[in-house]
Amino acid sequence: MHSVTLLGATGSIGTSALDVIARHPGRYRVHALTAQSRVAELADLAARFRPEVVVIGDPALESDLRRALRERSVQCDARAGAAALVDVAQTEAADTVLAAIVGAAGLMPTIAAARAGKRLLLANKEAIVCAGPLLMSALQASGGQLLPVDSEHNAIHQCLAGVGAGQRQQARLVLTASGGPFLRRGDLADVTPDEACAHPNWVMGRKISVDSATLMNKGLEVIEASWLFDMPVDRIDVVIHPQSVIHSMVEFPDGSVLAQLGSPDMRTPIAYALAWPERIESGARRLDFATLGALTFEAPDLQRFRCLHYAYAALRAGGAASAVLNAANEVAVEAFLQRRLPFTRIASTIEGVLDEYQPAAPRSVEEVLDIDRQARQRAGRLAALHA
């Protein structure tokens, strides 16, 4: 029986993971559920999954959480704030931690789980983008294990199963990207948040939906892949594949290409990560090859989708550039979602911050957080100018 902490339980990934867990009651027990502010949803999940601990990130909501749990006759340890998130990520009471908080806000609990030697199911790509080397060395030191939930990295993990270190060094990764809702749209100046969040194939949180529309999501994933699979930037390619059936591929020196396919449903990679090295039922619809139709591929347009270009540039620059890129993107995306920044200014805000702020490589998580703060301030200032 695995005992699981779900960080970001109310989100798109969190609820998909709970759906998979509910299908296997003899296999997984929920130790802790966390959310930032949606008290009622968190309490509803607690009533259904009966965890030992429930954490609300916003400390001002602690008494609301207690009341909501009382109203539902849920008895558990109710806590609030950042330190409580770190506690449930590292507690001995759970062997598995799903990191599904959105943004660099998930960094501290994700690192805590890595340091504590957990089986870490990583969805929170921003954490590995801003602190990749620190996260990977924490896992190595603790003997913890990282299983990628992001569908592309999950696909690559599957394609690399049984491939030795020597052969990995000669492999090439091909990340697939749907292209997002604006793949064929000409003028992007008047794009609204709702249009940007209407993804053709996936239902996701609003931040990652905007990232998919700018292709920054693929940029963050290129950086994520380089840390996860110890892969140099020149051996990570991106190809647009609008059907989202092939979730990514690995090419070997003999010309063979291995791919992982499935319906676009995050329950498949979540189930893989939960059960690895076994396989369990996920609830995802099976592919029907008789009706699937054509699978198509094209090169990404890095002139139109500048964010992908800046992500490659940040990975090439090394040091703190990925942390700066991530922070600037988070601020710009939030400004766009609040209708304070035009869609096309997301990329120019990021470019501006990368140009003016080039701190040294962070040596500790505290230094990452400091770089994140400073980059956010600069991004806020530039976004206000671009508004």
- Residue count at the site for ligand NAD (CB under 6 A)? 26
| Binding residues among 106-145 for ligand NAD as defined by CB under 6 A | 123-126
Q: Applying CB under 6 A, which of residues 197, 208, 238, 327 lies at the interface with ligand NAD?
A: 208
**Region binding ligand NAD by CB under 6 A among candidate stretches 63-71, 188-196, 203-211, 249-257:** 203-211
* Amino acid in the structure at residue 300: P
Complex with Mg ion: residue 126 or 150, whichever CB lies closer = 150
Contact residues for 366 (Cβ-Cβ < 8 A; gap 6+): none
**Region binding ligand NAD by CB under 6 A among candidate stretches 198-206, 226-234, 239-247, 271-279:** 198-206
Complex with Mg ion: residue 211 or 334, whichever CB lies closer = 211
Given Mg ion, ligand NAD, none, residue 246, with its beta carbon under 5 to 8 Å by kind, binds none
Given Mg ion, ligand NAD, none, residue 101, with its beta carbon under 5 to 8 Å by kind, binds ligand NAD
Q: Applying CB under 6 A, which of residues 5, 36, 214, 348 lies at the interface with ligand NAD?
A: 36
| Binding residues among 39-98 for ligand NAD as defined by CB under 6 A | 57
Q: Smallest distance from the beta carbon of 205 to ligand NAD, in angstroms?
A: 3
Q: Smallest distance from the beta carbon of 23 to Mg ion, in angstroms?
A: 23
Q: Among positive and negative, which fits the CA dihedral 262, 265, 126, 134?
A: negative
Q: What is residue 361's DSSP assignment?
A: P
Say whether residue 372 binds Mg ion (CB under 5 A): no
How are strands ordered across the β-sheet holding 77-80? 77-80, 53-56, 28-35, 2-7, 96-99, 119-122, 145-148
| Residue 62 near residue 79, CB atoms below 8 Å | yes
Given ligand NAD, Mg ion, none, residue 204, with its beta carbon under 5 to 8 Å by kind, binds ligand NAD
Q: What is residue 204's DSSP assignment?
A: -
Complex with ligand NAD: residue 9 or 225, whichever CB lies closer = 9
Q: Smallest distance from the beta carbon of 153 to ligand NAD, in angstroms?
A: 9
Q: What is the 3-state secondary structure (H, E, C) of 12-68?
A: HHHHHHHHHHHCCCCCEEEEEEEECCCHHHHHHHHHHHCCCEEEECCHHHHHHHHHH
- Strands of the chain (E only): list them: 2-7, 28-35, 53-56, 77-80, 96-99, 119-122, 145-148, 172-177, 236-240, 246-251, 257-261
> For the chain, what's the residue count?
387
| Residue 3 near residue 95, CB atoms below 8 Å | yes
**Region binding ligand NAD by CB under 6 A among candidate stretches 33-41, 176-184, 298-306, 359-367:** 33-41
| Residue 54 near residue 76, CB atoms below 8 Å | yes
* Amino acid in the structure at residue 328: A
Q: Applying CB under 5 A, which of residues 150, 330, 334, 372 lies at the interface with Mg ion?
A: 150
Q: Smallest distance from the beta carbon of 266 to ligand NAD, in angstroms?
A: 5
Q: What is the token pair recorded at 65?
A: 């959480």
Given ligand NAD, Mg ion, none, residue 12, with its beta carbon under 5 to 8 Å by kind, binds ligand NAD
How far is 222 from 236, CA to CA, in rounded Å? 7
Complex with ligand NAD: residue 57 or 352, whichever CB lies closer = 57
Which residues of this chain interact with ligand NAD, rule CB under 6 A?
8-14, 35-36, 38, 57, 100-102, 105, 123-126, 150, 202, 204-205, 207-208, 266
Chain positions contacting Mg ion, by CB under 5 A: 150-152
